[in-house]
Amino acid sequence: MTIGIDLSMTSTGVVVLSDDKELLWFKTIKTSPKDNIYKRVMYVLKQLDIIINYFDTASVVIEAPAFAAKGSRVYQMFGFHFVATMLIFRYKSNVNQVAPSKLKKIVTGKGNANKDAMLQSLIDLDNGVIDRFRENGFKKSTGLYDLVDAYFLAYYYE
């Protein structure tokens, strides 16, 4: 079993796949930009703690921070990633981290692929996963992209 985590302050995508790559469970963890940064981080960490503890036999794959990122919030993104990774290490001796460009390259063939290209790759798999996401109300604007990334993290890595 593998848990894929697309870590984000706004909408963290979490997908759990069986060893046979069957979709077992999925969710997005959303926070409001109106809340302070510490409240948002603590909420996401508490949710991840529950999920990782529940799926205790699973390996965990998390998207690494984008090292090319720029802007005033970069330090928050790296700090958030660090504490999330430390939380996972409480349960797991190994946390697989995958750079965004590496994941995109494996999934689409291009390391700089956009979100729509990643989504199209999942549609092209034609395995019913995209339908399950959409049946549960996920759209491009409501966490679908986050679930797609989390799915591919769990699908290609263990």
In this prediction the pTM is: 0.93
CA dist., res. 2 & res. 21, Å (int):
8
3-state DSSP percent of the chain in helix, strand and coil, to 5: 50, 20, 35
pLDDT of residue 94: 73
Share of the chain above pLDDT 70, in %: 95
Quote the pLDDT of residue 68: 65
- Residue 62 pLDDT exceeds 80: yes
| Range 21-32 average pLDDT | 97
Cα 34 to the center of its chain, rounded Å: 22
* Fold (topology level) of 2-156: Nucleotidyltransferase; domain 5 (3.30.420)
Question: Given this model, what pLDDT does residue 15 score?
Answer: 98
